[in-house]
Structures are given as structure tokens and as C-alpha cells.
Amino acid sequence: MAAAGSGATSGHENWSSRSAFILAAVGSAVGLGNMWRFPAEAGENGGGAFVLFYIFCVLLIGLPVLLSEVLIGRHGQASAPDSVRKVAEDSNASKSWSLIGSLGVFAAFLILSFYCVVGGWVVYYIGVFLGDLFQTGLTGGAFEGRAAEDIESLLPGLFGNGSLMVGLNLAFLAATIFFVARGVSSGIEWVAVYLMPMFFLLFLGITIYGAFTGNFGEAVGYLFTFDFSKLTGEVMLAAVGQAFFSLSLGVAGMITYGSYASRNTNLGETSGIIAGADTAVALLAGLAIFPIVFAAGLSASAGPGLMFQSLPIAFQAMPFGSLIGLAFFIMVFFAALTSSVSLLEAPTAFVKDRFGMSRAMATLLVGAGAAVLGVLSSLSFNDMADFRPLGFIPLFAEANFFDALDGVTAKLFMPIGAIMTCIFVGWVADAKLIDDENGLDGVLHQTWRALVRYVCPIILAVILFFGIFG
Ligand code: TRP
């Protein structure tokens, strides 16, 4: 094995090259968070003000935490908890810090379970547009002759069908399991190296299509006109949460991916590329979706329904509507799969290392757990809609199973994990060890260190507080 990483001696797997690492990490970051959640959040939170603050969050909080996470992984060359433990040991700090990794791995497992539920919806829309392409033909709009309410009701129709929801959820999870079971270089890397370029191609095509056939001017105005009166506390909270989710932070995913990086990868630079690519895709997703939605005269603030309901309606009036709709959802599927793969990898690497299991066994075990939770999440839209798993906690009293998992991970696990990571890297870990890993020097290094020590933990603590009590 040519990899220079110290992991080569311990049997820990490695990326086959730096670009494979970048593609995989960008694949992890770019997902439903960019294509579905970002435009939905931007639309619900007033457009420009949200977008500007989002970029600010990525730079000031997301990027420093991202570098902290990959750095821990690269030094540890092991699963997330063991990587944190290694850094702690080498810094003469308490081994209990490995809790960061354990909590993260657990949170990644929880996120995986409901992420695959939404992945299932994407598969459903691929089916819908494929069927429509055969029915209405290539050139016209999608869903010829069908009423807008009809198209809009596809999503609630799916939600009402428990067995279909479960089936699609498990299909998406099965695809994820398949690639993770094949390993880092032949499975996870394969998805990244083949699917991410296809994603970018389709994405570019659809953005250009939107720019020419849609209302591009209105979309640009909407996303980039910064109206500061709209920047409320709520909007800021939404922006930080979105930045974290989009960059796959706070839950050990990036620690795990960093652990496969070789010693000669410059982590500072690589983190910048990952964060930059993720943010570019989120902004471009807005520039792909809003022109199409505006051209159809639909509202920007449809929230979660924006991608799954407004967009299909908009495709009705567009040339090549069925084909573009199909391409769009295939593209989202690729992005989602490269993300779910990273969510499964974090807990799998842990189970594999800790219990000395084969990768295949570990993947199946974690996957089976995610299947059980996924079924409960899928059914929380229909048969189990009245089940309130965390009814005893006021914060989550009204949440069904799906919302409870989403809420617990976004409001508790992610901020807590990130705060602990910042304190650990900024204050506890040996400064020399950190300096050797981060690939930064001069002013950049000083800035990063100040952000990790002071700015990030304080802002994150505020977020945690308002997330719970606000
Ligand atoms: N970032 C991904 C997205 O935008 C989702 C994701 C993948 C994720 N891995 C993660 C989110 C780890 C949180 C933590 O869709």
C-alpha cells in the first residue's frame, strides 16, 4: 500500500489520493441539505438576509470546526472515538474526551435513519417523472393536463401510504449499505468519484436551463438583496443550524473521513475547498430552483414542500418538463447517496474497530439498526402519526418520531458535539500537535485558533441555549 498515512501500518484504510478525499468529503457535505433544505430555509427566512448570514456562519464557525474535525481524524487514524482518544493521549489529557466521538457516532446513526426516509421520497419522484416521461413524451411540460393540486398532492399521497414509505426508505438505505460494505476505496470512493461528477454535470445543466427558461433575475434579487431588518434571532439560528448540517459537522462524520487522509494532505487548504464547494452548491441550488419556481408564479416560502411540491408544479409549464424533472431528482439522488454513505460510515467504522468485526458485518449491523428506526420514522407520517416518543420532554412534546430525531440531533447533538470539539482542539489538545496537523501558518493560523477557542464555542453555546429555551 502506497499510502503514506500512519494508518497503513495499523491496517486502517486510506483514501487512494487527495482528490479522492476531497470528492468524498464534498460528497458528504453536498446532499439534501443543499438541494432541499437550503432553498427551503432561505425561502422561509426571507431570502437575502438568511443567505448573507449563512455565508458568514460557514466562514466563521463552519470552516474552523470542519478543520478541527478532519484534523482529529487524521491524527488519530482510527474511528471517531478512538481518534479523539489518541489526540487526548498524545496531549496528556483525559481519555474521556473520546465521548465527543461516541456521541457523534450515535448522532450520525440517528441522522442516517431519517435521512434515508427523505432519500426514499427522492426515489419516489424519480419514479413519478420517469412514468410521466413515458406518458407525456419528451418535449412538452410535465404532467400534461393535470391540475396543480393534483401534482401537489403527490407528496401527501406518498406520506399516507405507510408501506410505500417503508419500502422506499429501505431501498435507499440498502443502496447506502451496499456501498459502505464495499469499503473506503472501492465503495465510498467509487460513489464519490463517479456520482459527484455526474451530479455536477446535471446540476450545471439544470442551473443553465433555469437561467434561460425561468425567472433568473427575480431569483438573484431574492437571494442576494440583503434586507437587514429581516435578520432576526430566529433567522440567525436557522442559518447556523443549516451551515452545520450542510457541512456534515458536529457528529463525527468528518472526523471519520479525516482519518482516511494521508499525512501529506494539507488539511487547512482541503477544508477550505470542501466548505467552498458546499456553499457554492447551496447558492447555485437556490439559483436553479427559485427561477423555475418564480417563473411559475409560485411562492418562495413553501418550506419543505418547495422541492417536492412547488418544483414539480413548475416543471408542468416548462419545455422538456418531465425530462428535466427526472434529471433533477436523479441528481438529488446522487447527492443524497454520497451523504448517506458518510452518515453510515461513521458508526460502521466505530463498530468495526471496537468489536473487531468485518466491515460487511459492521455495516449490516448498523444498517439493520437504522432500518428499524427508519421504519418508525416512515410510519410517523401515517400509521403512527400520533406517537410522541419524547412527549415527556417539553421541547419535543409535539414531535412525532421523525421530527423528534431531527430535533434531537439538530438542537442538541450537533451543537454539543461542536462545542466539545472546539474546547478540545482549542484548549485541551497539545498546541504543537494541532499546529503540526492543521496546515495553516501566520495570520490564518492565529485567526483559526482564536475562532476555535473563543468565537465558535460562544456562538454555539448561544445557539444551544436558544435552541432549547428560545
Ligand atoms: N451534509 C449532508 C447534506 O447536506 C448531510 C450529512 C451527511 C450530514 N453527513 C452528515 C449532516 C453528518 C450532519 C452530519 O445533506
Q: Which of 67-76, 120-129, 207-216, 427-436 has the lowest mean pLDDT?
A: 207-216
Percent of the chain scoring above 90 in pLDDT: 84
pLDDT higher than threshold 50 for residue 3: no
Atom of ligand 1 nearest to the CA of 244: 13
Please report the pLDDT score of residue 379 as a whole number. Answer: 98
Return the pLDDT at 137: 83
| Cβ 344 vs Cβ 366: under 8 Å | yes
Find out whether the beta carbon of 245 lies less than 6 Å from any atom of ligand 1. Answer: yes
Position 139 scores a pLDDT of 82
313 Cα: distance to centroid of ligand 1 (angstroms): 28
CA atoms within 13 A on the CB side of 408: 24
Q: What burial class does residue 417 get, using C-beta atoms within 10 Å of its C-beta: 0-12 exposed, 13-18 middle, 19+ buried?
A: buried
Give the model confidence (pLDDT) of 37-84 as tens digits: 999 999 999 899 999 999 999 999 999 999 999 999 999 999 999 999
pLDDT in tens, 197-218: 999 999 999 999 888 889 999 9
335 Cβ closer than 6 Å to some ligand 1 atom? no
Closest C-alpha residue for ligand 1 atom 12: 248
| 380 CB within 6 A, ligand 1 | no
How far away, in angstroms, is 244 Cα from ligand 1 center?
8
CA 256 – CA 262 distance, rounded (Å):
13
CA distances from 332 to 119, 338, 426 (A): 9, 10, 36
Nearest CA residue ID for atom 11, ligand 1: 248
CA of 28 to the centre of ligand 1 (A): 6
> How high is the mean pLDDT of the chain?
93
Find out whether the beta carbon of 29 lies less than 6 Å from any atom of ligand 1: yes
Cα–ligand 1 centroid distance for 19 (angstroms): 20
What is the rounded CA–CA span in Å between residue 425 and residue 431?
Answer: 8
> Is pLDDT of 13 > 90?
yes
Ligand 1 within 6 A of CB of 347: no
**pLDDT band per the 50, 70, 90 thresholds, residue 6:** very low
Give the three cell numbers for residue 1.
500500500
Examine the pLDDT at 290 and tell me if it is beyond 50: yes
The finding on whether 421 has its CB within 6 A of some atom of ligand 1 is no
Q: What separation in Å is there between the alpha carbon of 335 and the centre of ligand 1?
A: 10
pLDDT above 70: residue 7? no
pLDDT of residue 1: 36
| Whole-number pLDDT of residue 423 | 98
Q: Residue 9 — pLDDT band, cuts 50, 70, 90?
A: very low
What is the rounded CA–CA span in Å between residue 409 and residue 413? 5
pLDDT of residue 339: 97
Q: What is the 3-state secondary structure (H, E, C) of the chain?
A: CCCCCCHHHHCCCCCCCHHHHHHHHHHHHCCHHHHHHHHHHHHHCCCHHHHHHHHHHHHHHHHHHHHHHHHHHHHHCCCHHHHHHHHHHHCCCCHHHHHHHHHHHHHHHHHHHHHHHHHHHHHHHHHHHHHHHHHHCCCCCCCCCCCHHHHHCHHHHHHHCHHHHHHHHHHHHHHHHHHHHCCHHHHHHHHHHHHHHHHHHHHHHHHHHHHHHCCHHHHHHHHHCCCHHHCCHHHHHHHHHHHHHHCCCCCCHHHHHHCCCCCCCCHHHHHHHHHHHHHHHHHHHHHHHHHHHHHCCCCCCCCCHHHHHHHHHHHHCCCCHHHHHHHHHHHHHHHHHHHHHHHHHHHHHHHHHHHCCCHHHHHHHHHHHHHHHHHHHHHCCCCCCCCCCCCCCHHHCCCCHHHHHHHHHHHHHHHHHHHHHHHHHHHHCCHHHHHHHHCCCHHHHHHHHHHHHHHHHHHHHHHHHHHHHC
253 lines ligand 1 (CB under 6 A): yes
Ligand 1 centre distance from Cα of residue 11 (Å):
27
In this prediction, residue 390 has a pLDDT band, given cuts at 50, 70 and 90, of very high
- Residue 10 is predicted with a pLDDT of 61
